[in-house]
């Protein structure tokens, strides 16, 4: 008896040798494909099932390749809709800004107990050294903050300070990577990429994620700070600032607006026909979506970057009209641009203060090894007034009700001066970050370093904890927001991180 005798006679015309092999192969491949979809959590999404936040299985957003930036729901009700990260490149010293240590003042120019043989990034350490700037109480809470940042000190009541952040590297490039991506190595997605991968954007005419480099240039780790890593390229940050527009976006002068519009309409017709014929080609759909966004940005971006519509009072508030300090005025314009982007619903904005070294150590950023007083006397005024104005302006406009502002740096600095120098060496053992806006307590202080500001000792917060808390405030479960890559379920917080519950409002 043959195999075909077991099947209904009506199907016997299919059972030649070629048909049997063809049907068998496609059936097995379908089973294998279904298993891959199930492993990656995509099968249930394709069927319309909504993932639950209970349990431990991965939660991956359902992304339409043709509309990758469409707004998506968080895992649970969110305190914040947008994030603005202010990143001071070069490792801004906590001991000369926000972390007041009376014992450091009392023991000025004495050896640090237990530090006699301490060798850090650049070498041997000298004595304990108090800050060249006086600390004074700020706001109604009386938080002690340095004269280096007097305008930010006035806003002390707005801040949730984390004084016990701990890193894992004392090198700038890996440190920037670690703060921005959760990993010291290159090739991992930034926190902004993870956020826009999960949530998309509220604005269809602008990128979901924008990085604003310092007027002096990009930070040391450059695009790693806003890169997509192994996430789809659509979720990388788009970098530009108030002085340098997006490259290759402007229409060439020799092409008229009518010709440009007509060409775009014709191309859209061709694209639509091709998509109808190959509806499952997600890479093509994503590429088309990217070009369509670029076309919309040709109209929307000039309006956003045209700061001439801002009032003279706004320019004065930010210091953007400061003719005596061109660098401060340029950074202030970047701060205004950041506010305008948040106003327009850009999901994640990353604003940099300080760039990769140009002109010598400590000239372009906060890396104050040799002459901390001289270098920080330049950087403090550039940073202070515009950043404080940004917070005031956003609060006055009601933007802080749904926006989380985060201030961070790659690591801190030593309570000693380097031997034979007048500056502080790198120190990842304990430093300060702060948050303000949606979802965090203020005024509030969390954690502490030791009596000299060297090591985090109370409520130590890792960078993974820091990232977990940011995602939580956006309504995202950091343990379940994953992307399957190279055989692993990857996440921003790796296999670590706990939400810092104590700072949540």
Which pLDDT value is given to residue 43? 44
Q: Residue 58 in 3-state DSSP?
A: coil
Q: Does the pLDDT of residue 17 top 70, yes or no?
A: no
Q: Which of 233, 183, 186, 187 is nearest to 208 (CA)?
A: 233
Q: What is the pLDDT of residues 372-382, one digit of tens each?
A: 999 999 999 99
Mean predicted confidence (pLDDT) in 89-112: 97
Give me the percent of the chain exceeding a pLDDT of 90: 70
252 band by pLDDT with thresholds 50, 70 and 90 = confident
Q: Does the pLDDT of residue 334 top 90, yes or no?
A: yes
Q: Give kind and range of the element (H or E) at residue 367.
A: none
Mean predicted confidence (pLDDT) in 378-395: 98
Mean predicted confidence (pLDDT) in 62-66: 85
Whether residue 504 contacts residue 80, with contact meaning beta carbons closer than 8 Å, is answered with no
Which pLDDT value is given to residue 54? 53
- Beta-bridge mates of residue 348: 83, 209
Which pLDDT value is given to residue 499? 98
357 band by pLDDT with thresholds 50, 70 and 90 = confident
Give one DSSP letter per residue of 3-48, joined into a string: GGGGS-GGGGGG-SHHHHHHHHHHHHHHHHHHHHHHHTT-HHHHTT
Q: Phi then psi for 391, rounded to 5 degrees?
A: -70, -45
Whole-angstrom distance, CA of residue 416 vs CA of residue 24: 73
Q: Does the pLDDT of residue 279 top 90, yes or no?
A: no
Q: Please enumerate, as own/partner, the contacts of 456-462 that have beta carbons within 8 Å and a separation of 24 or more.
A: 456/163, 456/164, 456/165, 456/166, 456/429, 456/430, 456/431, 457/164, 457/430, 458/164, 459/164, 459/502, 460/164, 460/166, 461/162, 461/164, 461/165, 461/166, 461/500, 462/165, 462/166, 462/496, 462/497
Q: Please enumerate, as own/partner, the contacts of 263-266 that have beta carbons within 8 Å and a separation of 24 or more.
A: 264/295
- Beta-bridge mates of residue 137: 144
Please give the sequence-ordered ranges of beta strands (E in DSSP) within 64-134, or none if there are none.
Answer: 82-88, 119-120, 123-128
Mean predicted confidence (pLDDT) in 466-478: 98
Q: What is the pLDDT of residues 438-447, one digit of tens each?
A: 999 999 999 9
Q: Does the pLDDT of residue 12 top 50, yes or no?
A: no
Which pLDDT value is given to residue 96? 98
Which pLDDT value is given to residue 119? 84
Q: What is the pLDDT of residues 41-63, one digit of tens each?
A: 444 333 233 334 556 789 999 99
Q: What is the pLDDT of residues 195-247, one digit of tens each?
A: 999 999 988 899 999 999 999 999 999 999 999 999 998 899 999 999 987 76
36 band by pLDDT with thresholds 50, 70 and 90 = very low
Whether residue 367 contacts residue 357, with contact meaning beta carbons closer than 8 Å, is answered with yes
Identify the residue with better confidence: 103 or 27. Answer: 103
Which pLDDT value is given to residue 249? 65
Identify the residue with better confidence: 316 or 25. Answer: 316
Identify the residue with better confidence: 26 or 72. Answer: 72
Contacts of 197 (CB under 8 A, 6+ apart): 61, 63, 189, 231, 232, 235, 483
Whole-angstrom distance, CA of residue 451 vs CA of residue 106: 11
Which pLDDT value is given to residue 53? 54
As to burial, measured by CB atoms within 10 angstroms (0-12 exposed, 13-18 middle, 19+ buried), residue 30 is exposed
Overall pTM > 0.75: yes
Q: What is the pLDDT of residues 407-421, one digit of tens each?
A: 999 999 999 999 989
Whole-angstrom distance, CA of residue 91 vs CA of residue 431: 9
Identify the residue with better confidence: 50 or 117. Answer: 117
Which single residue is written with the structure tokens 């000299």? 452
CA dihedral angle for residue 8, residue 14, residue 16, residue 21, rounded to 10 degrees:
-110
The CA angle 454-460-466, to the nearest 5 degrees, is 110
Q: What is the pLDDT of residues 77-99, one digit of tens each?
A: 999 999 999 999 999 999 999 99
The most confident of the ranges 110-124, 281-295, 365-379 is 365-379
Q: Does the pLDDT of residue 301 top 50, yes or no?
A: yes
3-state secondary structure 139-151: CCCCEEEECCCHH
Q: Does the pLDDT of residue 11 top 50, yes or no?
A: no
Mean predicted confidence (pLDDT) in 149-166: 98
Give the number of other Cβ atoms within 10 Å of residue 450's Cβ: 15
Which pLDDT value is given to residue 247? 66
**Residue 443: DSSP 8-state:** S
Which pLDDT value is given to residue 439? 97
Q: Could you tell me the sign of the dihedral formed by the alpha carbons of 333, 335, 337, 340, in that order?
A: negative
């Amino acid at each position: 008896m043959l195999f075909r005798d077991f099947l209904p006679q009506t199907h016997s015309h299919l059972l030649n040798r070629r048909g049997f092999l063809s049907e068998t192969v496609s059936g097995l491949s379908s089973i294998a494909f279904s298993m891959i979809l199930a492993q990656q959590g995509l099968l249930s999404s394709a069927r319309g099932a909504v993932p639950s936040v209970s349990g431990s299985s991965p939660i991956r957003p359902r992304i339409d390749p043709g509309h990758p930036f469409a707004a998506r729901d968080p895992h649970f009700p969110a305190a914040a809709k947008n994030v603005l990260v202010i990143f001071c490149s070069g490792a801004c010293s906590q001991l000369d800004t926000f972390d007041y240590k009376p014992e450091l003042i009392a023991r000025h120019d004495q050896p640090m107990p237990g530090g006699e043989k301490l060798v850090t990034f650049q070498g041997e350490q000298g004595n304990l050294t108090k800050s060249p700037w006086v600390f004074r109480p700020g706001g109604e809470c009386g938080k002690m903050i340095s004269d280096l940042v007097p305008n930010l000190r006035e806003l002390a009541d707005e801040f949730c300070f984390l004084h016990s952040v701990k890193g894992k590297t004392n090198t700038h490039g890996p440190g920037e990577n670690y703060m921005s991506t959760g990993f010291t190595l290159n090739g991992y997605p930034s926190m902004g990429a993870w956020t826009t991968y999960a949530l998309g954007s509220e604005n269809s005419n602008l990128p979901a994620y924008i990085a604003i480099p310092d007027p002096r240039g990009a930070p040391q780790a450059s695009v790693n700070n806003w890169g997509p890593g192994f996430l789809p390229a659509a979720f990388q940050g788009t970098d530009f600032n108030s002085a340098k527009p997006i490259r290759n976006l402007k229409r060439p002068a020799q092409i008229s607006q009518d010709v440009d519009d007509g060409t775009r309409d014709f191309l859209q017709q061709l694209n639509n026909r091709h998509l109808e014929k190959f509806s499952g080609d997600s890479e093509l759909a994503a590429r088309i979506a990217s070009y369509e966004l670029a076309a919309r940005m040709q109209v929307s971006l000039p309006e956003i970057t045209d700061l001439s519509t801002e009032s003279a009072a706004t320019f004065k508030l930010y210091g953007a009209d400061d003719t005596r300090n061109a660098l401060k005025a340029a950074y202030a314009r970047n701060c205004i641009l950041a506010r305008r982007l948040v106003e327009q619903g850009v999901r994640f904005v990353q604003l940099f203060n300080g760039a990769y070294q140009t002109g010598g150590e400590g000239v372009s950023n906060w890396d104050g090894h040799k002459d901390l007083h001289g270098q920080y006397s330049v950087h403090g005024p550039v940073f202070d007034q515009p950043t404080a104005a940004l917070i005031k302006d956003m609060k006055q406009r009601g933007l802080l009700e749904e926006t989380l502002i985060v201030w961070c740096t790659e690591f801190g600095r030593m309570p000693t001066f380097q031997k034979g120098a007048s500056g502080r060496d790198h120190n990842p053992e304990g430093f300060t970050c702060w948050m303000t806006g949606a979802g965090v307590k203020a005024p509030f202080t969390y954690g502490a370093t030791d009596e000299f500001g060297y090591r985090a000792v109370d409520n130590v917060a890792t960078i993974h904890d820091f990232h977990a808390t940011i995602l939580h405030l956006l309504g995202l479960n950091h343990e379940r927001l994953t992307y399957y890559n190279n055989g692993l379920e990857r996440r921003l917080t790796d296999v670590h991180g706990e939400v810092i519950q104590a700072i949540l409002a």
